[in-house]
């Protein structure tokens, strides 16, 4: 069978540094091909070469057995290759139908005309999206549907998904997988980049694993299992370290009650919720996206404000506190480590040392009145070593680090403030497998040292592995509490969705 | 990672200034004399002082369009009060208080009411110009009273053979440099300019820092006003309605302080000021018309930005190097 799309010996260098080295990748008609690897393995760069977003430094792209040169994404689209990005590329202020027909060659569209055409088209794909709705009013899953519909509308024969499921709820994921099945039946080939190995095993026909810009292995999915993929990804077997060991681990006893929240409310998102967090213990909070877990944590840390009336009460070590800005919370030892490090985590114009030192300055942990360069260096070196941040030195810019190392810098910036209560919100989102293990060890160590730790996560194995106590959040309220070792994934999920 | 062969905008502008210098030195008689060089720096020192004020605000991801108005009105009021018989120190103190109140109001509107800085300061500039003209003094141009000649030393005096305004420019630069580098608040200012949300979560008092930033700008504007009034023994308040404020922004942007905040420092202001100084001085010696000078200034700005964009392309890879 001739491959539909091929990259032959493709290399891409960014200023002399190779992101992809001499990789050959083939895609057959009607197959779902999962592309796996740690962050920085070169998956995105590889697909961008295929989609005409970047030009290969060396190597060729072949389509239907002929050499092609794809200089821009729109050229690639014309030859039938569409890419669906992590961040959606839709125009939020236009309606669904306007977005669908945005790049058509017609110069004028009648609104009524495209609404009718859009309705029929979306129905033919079995997508339940209103073509007259503004894109900004849609949820993540529906936006993804519109992106896919647009790709199908352009008669794409190859659709490339870059981490399609990371923003979807379980229900939306289910819909997404059935959609992939339908596309496969229509002989559309799919490249699927993901961090979720189960998903790749579930829906793909073949799997390619990359590491450090190089091709490691390509084989039929039936020849893979979780362990084999992980060891190919990291070059060592991490599966035991990552999952499954929680059964043998000892549960930590609760220390003092550090935080107690009573009847907390914030708009319609957090509804009259109550819970407590104890020192020397990890309290895991599980909930689906939109269940109000992040917002509840942000109110506790002063990042968001609770309702003015009937907003409830937060007590820190028994004393009622109410923070309107994070600064007093930070000074009292409540530190929130964000789930979204790019927009509210680190400072991109600053070096690693400056980021960490800024945390110390703002938390009042420096000895001098002003800025002391020598102190900055010692503090930064200590934390870079403690968290094994991998960078050339402390002067490296944070924006140039991998996701895992960026996350470590954000965590260092929080821990330098000597917290009594740390709230980790999705601590391992967008972090490579090796760093996940290190961050988990670090969180364990914090609890062993007697700090109260809260971990918010929508990844069940992570919650099960870390927590001594598990709280389940649903529709803005903590609805259920489990002891860490006496439960399993199904029980928790059942509590979270019903 | 630093890459060899990467040139910052600051270096490009410095190179351009040096090239212009060499060009003028060869072609223009009397350009490269110590007198002319001192004269050159002296002539841009007010622009440079205002550039430092604007630079601090821009590093904090703001912009202060009321800067020139604050300078003109606060000093004109000081001169009016002194003319009316008030003692000079008291008049200066009142003028400074006025400037600081304006800065504080700017900061309050921007930090607490959350008005975009460009609108808040634009409105404030217009407001205080009208307010000053109506309530404080009647004339467009306020003259230095006779008993205030001690002030003129700041504009016309010479110390060790160097005009005093140059010392003041250097002093303001040095002060702002120390502030940015060695004080906590300087670090906070940079953090707020880089990423306000992250700064807030880290525990930086973001709102007070924004207020501080506009108060500093007004303070430095007041100093620039003293130098202006002292140099020409008067203050022409019509400068508030001129394009002078755009020259100040030009100096900042040309020097390479990114309008996106957090980037650059005082060095960038100095480099930007020098280029403008060399350019204006050379053109004045060549006796080029004012309108043509504007054309040349515009072309230089565009050229600097174009070269910067070609040498440092903002491709997706520099935008997010975390994900390859």
Which chain A positions have a beta carbon within 8 Å of B188's beta carbon?
358, 361-362
Contact between B322 and A325 using a beta-carbon 8 Å cutoff: no
Give the pLDDT confidence score for residue A100 in this predicted structure. 82
pLDDT band at A462 (very low <50, low <70, confident <90, very high): confident
Q: Mutate which of A349, A394, A401 to test chain B, going by most B C-beta atoms within 10 A?
A: A349
Task: Tell me: pLDDT of A197 over 80.
Answer: no
Which residue of B194, B199, B200 is in closest CB contact with A348? B194
Subunit contact B190:A400, Cβ cutoff 8 A: no
Average pLDDT over residues A289-308: 85
Mean pLDDT value across residues B257-282: 84
Domain boundary among the residues A236, A267, A283 is at: A236
CB A203 within 8 A of CB A177: yes
% of chain B beyond a pLDDT of 90: 36
pLDDT at B31 over 60: yes
Angle between helices B244-255 and B266-285 (to 10 degrees): 120
| B319 pLDDT above the threshold of 50 | no
pLDDT of residue A248: 59
The Cα of A68 is separated from the nearest Cα of chain B by a number of Å equal to: 24
Q: Report yes or no: A392 at the B interface, CB cutoff 8 Å.
A: yes
> What pLDDT does residue B69 have?
93
Predicted confidence band at A119 (pLDDT cuts at 50, 70, 90)? confident
Q: A357 contacts in B (CB within 8 Å)?
A: 187
Lowest mean pLDDT among A164-178, A249-263, A318-332: A164-178
Cα angle value A444/A448/A452 (rounded, 5°) = 85
Q: Is A11 on the interface with B (CB under 8 A)?
A: no
Contacts of B197 in chain A (CB under 8 A): 343-344
Give, as one character, the DSSP assignment of residue A372: -
Span A340-367, average pLDDT: 87
User: B242 at the A interface (CB within 8 A)?
Assistant: no
Q: Considering only A13-17, A90-94, A281-285, A473-477, which range has the smallest mean pLDDT?
A: A13-17
Judged by a CB distance cut-off of 8 A, whether residue A353 touches chain B is no
Chain A positions touching B183 (Cβ under 8 A) are 370-371
pLDDT at A239 over 60: no
Per the CB < 8 Å rule, is B203 touching A327? yes
Helix (H, G, I), strand (E, B) or coil at B203: coil
Residue with tokens 């919370």: A329
pLDDT value for B322: 33
Using DSSP's 3-state secondary structure scheme, residue B124 falls into helix
Rounded distance between C-alpha atoms, residue A431 and residue A406, angstroms: 9
Does residue B7 sit within a domain?
A: no
User: Do residue A165 and residue A113 come from a single domain?
Assistant: yes
Confidence grade of residue B321 (pLDDT, cut at 50, 70, 90): very low
Shared domain for A215 and A358, answered yes or no, is no
Instruction: Give the pLDDT band (50/70/90) at residue B128.
Output: very high
Q: Give the 3-state secondary structure of residue B258.
A: coil
What average pLDDT does chain A have? 83
Q: Within its chain, how far is the Cα of A430 from the centroid?
A: 4
Any domain includes B6: no
- Are both A392 and A431 inside the same structural domain? yes
Whole-Å CA distances, A360 to A323, A338, A419, B181? 20, 17, 11, 16
The answer on A287 and A227 residing in a single domain is no
Which residue in A has a C-alpha nearest to residue B6's C-alpha? A15
Residue A289 CB coordination number (10 Å):
14
User: Beta-carbon neighbour count of residue A225 at 10 Å?
Assistant: 12
Q: Which two tokens stand for residue B211?
A: 């207020």
H-only helix segments in A309-450: 326-332, 341-344, 352-363, 373-386, 403-415, 433-448
Chain B environment of A362 (Cβ under 8 Å): 188, 199, 202-204
Q: Which of A364-373, A407-416, B270-279 has the highest mean pLDDT?
A: A407-416
Domain CATH code at residue B160: 1.10.3470
In a domain, B183, yes or no: yes
Same domain membership, residue A346 and residue A228: no
Selection from A402, A432, A341 nearest residue A36 by Cα: A432
pLDDT tens-place string over residues A334-351: 999 988 888 888 888 888
Do A67 and A5 form a contact (C-beta atoms < 8 A)?
A: no
Q: Which chain B residues have a beta carbon less than 8 Å from that of A363?
A: 202-203
Residue contact B205–A346, C-beta within 8 A: no
Full domain range(s) for residue A385: 245-497
ipTM: 0.83
Backbone angles phi, psi at B187, to 5 degrees: -60, -45
pLDDT of residue B7: 65
Tell me, what's the pLDDT at B70? 94
- Please state, in angstroms and rounded to a whole number, the distance separating the CA atoms of residues B195 and A36: 32
For residue B24, tell me if it sits in a domain.
yes
- Report the candidate in A118, A397, A257, A251 with the shortest Cα–Cα distance to residue B320: A397
What confidence tens digit (pLDDT) does each residue in A224-238 have? 887 788 777 766 544
Co-location of A382 and A475 in the same domain: yes
Give yes or no for a contact between A350 and A404, defined as CB atoms under 8 angstroms apart: no
Q: Rounded mean pLDDT of A40-58?
A: 83
Q: How far apart are CA B247 and CA B301, in angstroms?
A: 11
CA distance A123 to A125: 5
Question: Both A189 and A250 in a single domain?
Answer: no
Calculate the dihedral angle through the C-alpha atoms of A333, A393, B55, A375, rounding to the nearest 10 degrees. Answer: 50
Arithmetic mean of pLDDT, A125-143:
78
Residue A231 shares a structural domain with residue A262 = no
Flag whether pLDDT at A46 surpasses 80.
yes
Report the first-to-last Cα separation within chain A, whole angstroms.
48
Kindly identify which residue of chain B lies nearest to residue A371, measuring between CA atoms. Answer: B182
> Is the same domain home to A20 and A67?
yes
The count of CB pairs under 8 A between chains A and B is 115
Q: How far is A36 from chain B (nearest CA, A)?
A: 13
Q: Which residue of A has its CA nearest to B180?
A: A371
A169 lies within 8 A of chain B by CB = no
Nearest to A54 by CA among A89, A88, A18, A90: A18
Question: Residue A462's Cα: distance from chain center in Å?
Answer: 14
d(CA B221, CA B217): 6
* Number of Cα atoms under 13 Å in the Cβ half of residue A378: 7
Q: How confident is the model at residue B66 (pLDDT cuts 50, 70, 90)?
A: very high
CA B306 to chain centroid: 23
For residue B64, tell me if it sits in a domain. Answer: yes
Angstrom distance (rounded) from CA A67 to CA A6: 9
Model confidence band, residue B3 (pLDDT cutoffs 50, 70, 90): very low
Q: Chain A window 48-77: which residues touch B at a Cβ cutoff of 8 Å?
A: 53
- Residue B288 has φ and ψ, to the nearest 5°, of -90, 140
Residue B144 DSSP one-character state: P
Per the CB < 8 A criterion, the answer to whether A59 and A7 are in contact is yes
pLDDT at B2: 40
CA distances from A345 to A133, A323, A408 (A): 33, 20, 11
Q: How confident is the model at residue B205 (pLDDT cuts 50, 70, 90)?
A: very high
Asked if B324 lies within 8 A of A346 by C-beta distance, the reply is no
pLDDT of residue A409: 92
Question: CATH code at A87?
Answer: 3.40.50.300
Q: State pTM to two decimals.
A: 0.75
- The yes-or-no verdict on residue B292 having pLDDT over 70 is yes
Give the closest-approach CA distance of A115 to chain B in angstroms: 34
Q: What is the mean pLDDT of the segment spanning A2-8?
A: 85
Select the more confidently predicted residue: B67 or A219: B67
Residue A158 phi/psi, 5-degree rounding, is -125, 125
Dihedral sign computed on CA atoms, order A115, A121, A122, A126: positive
Per the CB < 8 Å rule, is A345 touching B198? Answer: yes
Q: Clarify whether residues A119 and A256 are in a common domain.
A: no
Are residue A282 and residue A197 in the same domain, yes or no?
no
SS (H, E, C) A106-125: CCCCCHHHHHHHHHHHHHHC
- Model confidence at B316: pLDDT above 50: no
Q: Is residue A338 within 8 angstroms of chain B, CB to CB? A: yes
End-to-end CA distance of chain B: 15
Q: Which residues of A touch B313 (CB under 8 A)?
A: none
Q: Do A344 and B194 touch (CB under 8 A)?
A: no
Predicted local confidence at residue A283, as pLDDT: 92
With CA atoms as reference, report the closest residue to B65 among B132, B131, B126, B140.
B126
State how far the alpha carbon of A97 is from the alpha carbons of A84, A154, A295, in Å. Answer: 17, 14, 33
Kindly state the average pLDDT of the residues A134-155: 79
Output phi, psi for A102, to 5 deg: -60, -45
Q: CA angle A35-A36-A41, nearest 5°?
A: 105
Q: Identify the CA nearest to A329 among candidates A307, A306, A357, A351.
A: A306
The DSSP symbol for A253 reads: P
How much is the pLDDT for B225?
A: 93
Q: Which of residues 258-287 of B touch A (CB under 8 A)?
A: 262-263
For residue B134, what is the DSSP state? Answer: I
Whats the size of chain B, residue-wise?
324
Q: What is the mean pLDDT of residues B272-290?
A: 83
Within a domain: B3: no
- The last residue of one of the domains, among A201, A236, A271, is A236
Residue A201 contacts residue A227 (beta carbons within 8 Å): no
Q: What is the mean pLDDT of residues B33-52?
A: 88
The total number of structural domains in chain A stands at 2
- The phi and psi torsions of B303 (rounded to 5 degrees) equal -60, -45
Q: Which of B198, B256, B321 to mutate to test the interface with A (most CBs of A within 10 A)?
A: B198
Task: Report yes or no: A477 and A447 within 8 Å, Cβ to Cβ.
Answer: no
Give the per-residue pLDDT at B312. Answer: 57
User: Is residue B299 predicted with pLDDT exceeding 80?
Assistant: yes
Query: Which residue has better confidence, B300 or B312?
Result: B300
C-alpha distance from B185 to closest chain A C-alpha (Å)? 8
- Angstrom CA distances, A219 to A4, A238, A381, stand at 17, 21, 43
Cα angle A341, A343, A347; round to 5? 75
User: What is the arrangement of strands in the sheet containing A5-14, beginning at the earlier edge strand?
Assistant: A17-27, A5-14, A58-63, A66-68
Same domain, A358 and A467: yes
CA gap A195, B90 in Å, rounded = 69
DSSP at A305: P
The per-type count for chain B, helices as H runs and strands as E runs, is: 14, 4
For B183, which residue in chain A has the nearest alpha carbon? Answer: A370
A369 contacts on B by Cβ (under 8 Å)? 184
Q: What's the token pair of residue B294?
A: 């504007």
- Contact in structure between A39 and A430 (CB atoms under 8 Å): yes
Write the residue in B3, B181, B202 that is nearest to A413 by C-beta.
Answer: B202
List all residues of chain B from 192 to 231 with a beta carbon under 8 Å from chain A. 194-195, 197-207
**pLDDT of B305:** 67
pLDDT at A111: 80
Quick one: average pLDDT of B211-232?
A: 93
Instruction: Print the domain residue range for B36.
Output: 19-312
Rounded to whole angstroms, how far apart are CA atoms B300 and B274?
Answer: 13
Span B146-153, average pLDDT:
77
Q: How many domains does chain B have?
A: 1
């Amino acid at each position: 069978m001739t491959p539909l799309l091929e990259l032959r010996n493709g290399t891409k260098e960014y200023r002399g540094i190779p992101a992809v080295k001499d990789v050959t990748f083939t895609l057959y008609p009607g197959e779902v091909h999962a592309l796996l690897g740690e962050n920085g393995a070169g998956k995105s760069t590889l697909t961008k070469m295929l989609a005409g977003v970047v030009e290969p430094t060396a190597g060729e792209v072949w389509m239907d057995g002929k050499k092609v040169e794809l200089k821009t994404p729109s050229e690639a689209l014309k030859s039938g290759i569409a890419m669906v990005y992590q961040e959606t590329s839709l125009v939020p202020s236009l309606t669904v139908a306007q977005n669908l027909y945005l790049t058509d060659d017609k110069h004028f569209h009648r609104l009524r005309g495209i609404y009718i055409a859009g309705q029929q088209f979306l129905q033919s794909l079995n997508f339940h999206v209103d073509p007259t709705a503004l894109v900004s009013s849609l949820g993540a899953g529906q936006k993804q549907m519109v992106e896919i519909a647009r790709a199908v509308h352009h008669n794409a024969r190859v659709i490339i998904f870059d981490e399609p499921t990371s923003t979807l709820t379980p229900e939306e994921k289910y819909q997404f997988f059935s959609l992939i099945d339908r596309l496969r039946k229509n002989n559309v080939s799919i490249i699927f980049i993901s961090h979720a190995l189960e998903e790749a095993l579930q829906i793909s026909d073949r799997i390619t694993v990359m590491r450090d810009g190089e091709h490691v292995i390509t084989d039929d999915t039936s020849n893979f299992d979780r362990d084999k993929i992980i060891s190919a990804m990291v070059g060592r077997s991490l599966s035991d370290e990552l999952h499954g060991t929680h059964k043998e681990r000892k549960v930590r006893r609760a220390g003092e009650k550090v935080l107690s929240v009573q009847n907390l409310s914030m708009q319609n998102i957090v509804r009259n919720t109550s819970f407590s967090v104890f020192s020397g213990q990890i309290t895991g909070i599980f909930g689906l996206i939109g269940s109000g877990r992040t917002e509840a944590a942000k109110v506790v840390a002063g990042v968001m404000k609770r309702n003015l009336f009937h907003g409830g009460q937060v007590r820190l070590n028994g004393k009622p506190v109410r923070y309107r800005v994070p600064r007093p919370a930070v000074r009292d030892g409540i530190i929130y480590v964000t789930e979204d490090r790019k927009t509210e985590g680190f400072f991109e114009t600053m070096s690693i040392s400056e980021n960490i030192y800024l945390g110390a300055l703002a938390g009042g942990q420096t000895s001098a009145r002003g800025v002391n360069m020598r102190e900055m260096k010692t503090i930064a070196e200590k934390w870079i070593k403690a968290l094994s941040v991998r960078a050339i030195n402390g002067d490296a810019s944070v924006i140039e680090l991998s996701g895992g190392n960026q996350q470590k810098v954000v965590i260092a910036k929080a821990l330098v403030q000597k917290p009594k209560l740390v709230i980790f919100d999705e601590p391992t989102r967008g972090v490579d497998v090796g760093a996940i293990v290190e961050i988990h060890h670090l969180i364990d160590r914090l609890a062993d040292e007697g700090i109260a730790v809260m971990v918010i996560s929508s990844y069940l194995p992570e919650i099960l592995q870390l927590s001594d106590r598990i709280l389940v959040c649903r529709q803005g309220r903590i609805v259920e509490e489990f002891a860490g070792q006496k439960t399993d994934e199904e029980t928790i999920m059942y509590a979270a969705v019903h | 990672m630093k890459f060899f062969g990467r040139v910052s905008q600051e270096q490009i502008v410095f190179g351009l200034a040096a090239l212009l210098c060499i060009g003028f030195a060869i072609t223009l008689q009397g350009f490269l004399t110590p007198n002319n060089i001192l004269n050159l720096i002296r002539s841009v020192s007010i622009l440079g002082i205002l550039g430092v004020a604007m630079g601090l605000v821009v590093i904090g991801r703001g912009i202060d369009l009321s800067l020139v108005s604050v300078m003109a009105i606060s000093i004109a009021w000081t001169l009016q009060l002194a003319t009316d018989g008030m003692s000079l120190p008291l008049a200066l103190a009142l003028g400074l208080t006025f400037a600081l109140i304006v800065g504080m109001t700017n900061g309050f509107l921007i930090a607490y009411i959350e008005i975009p800085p460009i609108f808040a300061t634009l409105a404030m500039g217009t407001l205080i110009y009208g307010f000053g003209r109506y309530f404080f003094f009647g004339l467009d141009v306020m003259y230095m009273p006779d008993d205030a000649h001690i002030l003129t030393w700041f504009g016309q005096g010479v110390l060790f053979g160097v005009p005093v305004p140059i010392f003041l420019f250097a002093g303001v630069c040095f002060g702002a440099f120390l502030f940015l580098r060695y004080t906590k608040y300087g670090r906070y200012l940079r953090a707020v300019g880089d990423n306000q949300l992250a700064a807030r979560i880290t525990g930086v008092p973001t709102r007070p820092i924004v207020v501080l930033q506009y108060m500093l700008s007004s303070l430095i504007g007041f100093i620039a006003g003293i130098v202006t009034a002292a140099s020409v023994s008067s203050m022409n308040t019509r400068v508030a309605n001129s394009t002078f404020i755009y020259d100040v922004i030009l100096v900042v942007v040309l020097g390479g302080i990114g309008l996106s905040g957090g980037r650059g420092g005082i060095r960038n202001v100095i480099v930007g000021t020098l280029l403008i100084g060399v350019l204006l001085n050379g053109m004045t010696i060549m006796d080029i018309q004012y309108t043509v000078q504007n054309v040349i200034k515009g072309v230089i700005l565009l050229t600097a930005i174009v070269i910067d964009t070609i040498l440092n392309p903002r491709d997706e890879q520099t935008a997010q190097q975390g994900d390859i």
